[in-house]
Amino acid sequence: MRFGKIKHLHFVGIGGAGMNGLAEIMCNLGFRVSGSDLIESAVTRRLQEFGVDIMYSHNAQNISGADVVIYSAAVPENNPELVEARIRNIPVIKRAVMLAELMRLKYGICIAGTHGKTTTTSMTGQVLTAGGLDPTIVVGGKVKSLGSHVRVGTGDYLVTEADEFNRSFLTLFPTIAVITTLELEHLDSYKELESLKEAFLEFASKVPFYGSIIACIDDEAVRDIIPKLERRIITYGINPEADFQPEQVQFDQFESSFLVRWKGKSLGYFNVNTPGMHNINNALAAIAVGLEMEVPLEVIRSALKDFSGVFRRFELKDEIDEIMIIDDYAHHPTEVKASLNAAKTGWKDSRIIAVFQPHLYSRTRDFFKDFGESFGDADIIVITN
């Protein structure tokens, strides 16, 4: 793969979620890759093992020799590397634009929505890999089975998260789009729910006429936009009108089992090693994508049973004297509630102690009341500073 005469790619904020995965893909494709970040981490050390040159500072000299500079939405426009690149007339592009360029060469399967993107993308990637489609996978979290945020495949498919933050997902052109949920989170990008709905409608409109949209209709806002989607729609959820529905759901610690019905027809039982009703919905989305891609049903069933999860998504860190320590990235009231409910339903006789670290001052302020109501399943709540 080549982008004209572009040979050297420089990533600003290379250790960030999504950025490091993209850097790894480009390195695997034969480009020279460099990057900068303020903090050394496991992901930056992994990239260095691949030969990526990383500077742990932000200054103008870091972009020496770069043909293009890539940055994420989290990097401010006054970053000295971006400023220097523009002075030198070096192309400066957002991460989402680079991802969109990769997608031009493949069929894009984009997982969008306020919640569940990382797990659903990981499950979907595992299903397509098991089905022999050899996809490239780009995930915001570190997938346990991959030991990485990415998988570089030689097949025709790119499975990726589509992040609505800063409207970056509008650069993508998916063949299949999954919409998990629609809820306000990034109030700096969307002031009200209607503007978020409009952005998702624009995203969904990029699906070609031969593609499909797979949507969770348990979510009221998703149901609201479906009549406006002029594409083939496949629905999932516990909603009785959904095409894919779970029945006879059972939770036993980390394992969840459920029967899947597709338009009333039984597809048999499925098992996933990720607790909580929200993860059953994530699995339904992966099942729907797999069947769209003509992956055999038994292969899908086996792939989901073997799915080992994503780091920091209800991850067991340790067990000491019958005390289980779970780490979860939940940083939105809905996610906190879902994670605690997963603990409550999976470990019915256990006491739950929730230790919560607020993620951002602005998010804590904007959703203060909702956060207060999200800890109902916890017996003891500890809030860190």
Give exposure, 271-286, as e/b (b: 16+ Cβ within 10 Å): bbebbbbbbbbbbbbb
Token match 């972009």: residue?
A: 63
- Of 24, 84, 114, 118, which residue is the catalytic one? 118
Confidence (pLDDT) at 363: 82
Confidence (pLDDT) at 2: 60
Mean pLDDT for the stretch of residues 89-113:
93
**Contacts with 183 (C-beta within 8 Å, 6 or more apart), sequence order:** 114, 115, 193, 196, 219, 221, 332, 334
Cα–Cα distance between 336 and 370 in angstroms, integer? Answer: 10
Distance of CA 377 to the CA centre of its chain: 25
- Of 114, 117, 129, 337, which residue is the catalytic one? 117
Question: What is the residue-wise DSSP string for 263-328?
Answer: TTEEEEEEEESS-SHHHHHHHHHHHHHHHHTT--HHHHHHHHHH---BTTSSEEEEEETTEEEEE-
Per-residue DSSP letter, 163 = -
Residues 326 and 315: beta-carbon distance below 8 Å: yes
Cα–Cα distance between 122 and 137 in angstroms, integer? Answer: 8
- Let me know if 117 is a catalytic residue: yes
The yes-or-no verdict on residue 3 having pLDDT over 90 is no
Cα–Cα distance between 350 and 372 in angstroms, integer? Answer: 22
Confidence (pLDDT) at 10: 98
Residue 250: pLDDT band with limits 50, 70, 90: very high
Question: What is the residue-wise DSSP string for 53-77?
Answer: EEESS--GGGGTT-SEEEE-TTS-T
Q: pLDDT over 90 for what percent of the chain?
A: 77
Backbone angles phi, psi at 305, to 5 degrees: -65, -35
Confidence (pLDDT) at 149: 86
Domain architecture of the chain: domains with CATH: 8-94 (3.40.50.720), 106-306 (3.40.1190.10), 315-383 (3.90.190.20)
Residue 1: pLDDT band with limits 50, 70, 90: low
Q: Which residue pairs from 33-40 have beta carbons closer than 8 angstroms and sit at least 24 positions apart in sequence?
A: 33/8, 33/9, 34/8, 34/9, 34/10, 34/62, 34/65, 34/66, 35/10, 35/11, 36/10, 36/11, 36/12, 36/62, 36/81, 37/13, 39/15, 40/15
Residue 17: pLDDT band with limits 50, 70, 90: confident
Mean pLDDT for the stretch of residues 117-135:
97
The yes-or-no verdict on residue 80 having pLDDT over 60 is yes
Confidence (pLDDT) at 237: 98
Cα–Cα distance between 162 and 124 in angstroms, integer? Answer: 14
Mean pLDDT for the stretch of residues 111-117:
94
Confidence (pLDDT) at 258: 98
Of the given ranges (89-98, 185-194, 229-238, 336-345), which has the lowest mean pLDDT? 185-194
- Mean pLDDT across the chain, nearest whole number? 93
User: Per residue in 185-225, pLDDT tens?
Assistant: 766 778 889 999 999 999 999 999 999 999 999 999 999 99
Supply the pTM of this predicted model.
Answer: 0.91
Cα–Cα distance between 327 and 47 in angstroms, integer? Answer: 25
- Let me know if 180 is a catalytic residue: no
- Of 24, 81, 84, 161, which residue is the catalytic one? 161
Cα–Cα distance between 309 and 122 in angstroms, integer? Answer: 8
End-to-end CA distance of the chain: 47
